[in-house]
Amino acid sequence: MNAPRNTAVSPSALMLSLFLLVPAFCLAGCGSLLNSGPAPTRLLLKPALPPPTSGRPVNKQLVVAAPTSGNIPSGDGISVVFRDREIRMLAAARWTAEAPLLIQRSLVDALEATGGLRGVGDDTEGLQADVRLLTDIREFGLRWGEDDDTPPVGVFAAVFRLLDLGNGHIYSSLHVEATAQASGKNNGDLAAACETALSKGLAQCAAWVLARI
């Protein structure tokens, strides 16, 4: 008669089994948390550009530095400020890139569109510039007031400064705050309000740069 086999499990084998089971249990239990549903809609930011200026361009080149944005959330989300204090992000929509990079590109495009300068570029192009445009974005997104039934307002606020690269002095500054009422609450209406507010800010900035440079 054969002796019964020893079926006891060693402590090390038991610990290995538990180690393998725990991740599987966590993945099964957390699956609903990891599944965030459909991907958010990506929205293009296409503000209107200023019209060309008359006359010959100024014989100077300008570089648009990467904006600072200490007062707005970073990333590609679209911020909504409720009652002037509470900041949330739109859940179902994002810009195609981080907002400061989109605004930098819009500033370059706006100044190029005027035709008022010999050259314009961002700070990655190696431009031999005479002047640097510094931008501090104070607000870019949507404001929602006390009445939830009224669509929000698109807002663009920034401080611009002109830095003379010849002597290192900031010789002019401009504060801009532009708003635009959204016509509705869907993603397209909200993006259009942000675009319109930014378009107004770009027009003010371009006119100021050409006047001061």
Identify whether 2 is part of a domain: no
Query: Tokens 């870019």 identify what position?
Result: 140
Please give the tally of structural domains in the chain: 1
152 three-class SS: coil
66-98, pLDDT tens digit by residue? Answer: 999 877 777 898 988 988 778 888 888 899 999
CATH number for the domain harbouring residue 169: 3.40.50.10610
Query: Which ranges of 61-119 would DSSP assign to H, the alpha helix?
Result: 99-114
For residue 37, what pLDDT is reported?
61
Identify whether 110 is part of a domain: yes
What range does the domain containing 199 cover? 60-212
- Give the strand pairing for 131-144 and 153-164: antiparallel
Identify whether 179 is part of a domain: yes
Identify whether 45 is part of a domain: no
Identify whether 19 is part of a domain: no
Token pair for 212: 């001061």
Token pair for 175: 């504060």
Identify whether 11 is part of a domain: no
Higher pLDDT, 105 or 24: 105
For residue 84, what pLDDT is reported?
77
For residue 145, what pLDDT is reported?
81
107-136, pLDDT tens digit by residue? Answer: 999 999 999 999 999 988 888 999 999 999
Identify whether 188 is part of a domain: yes
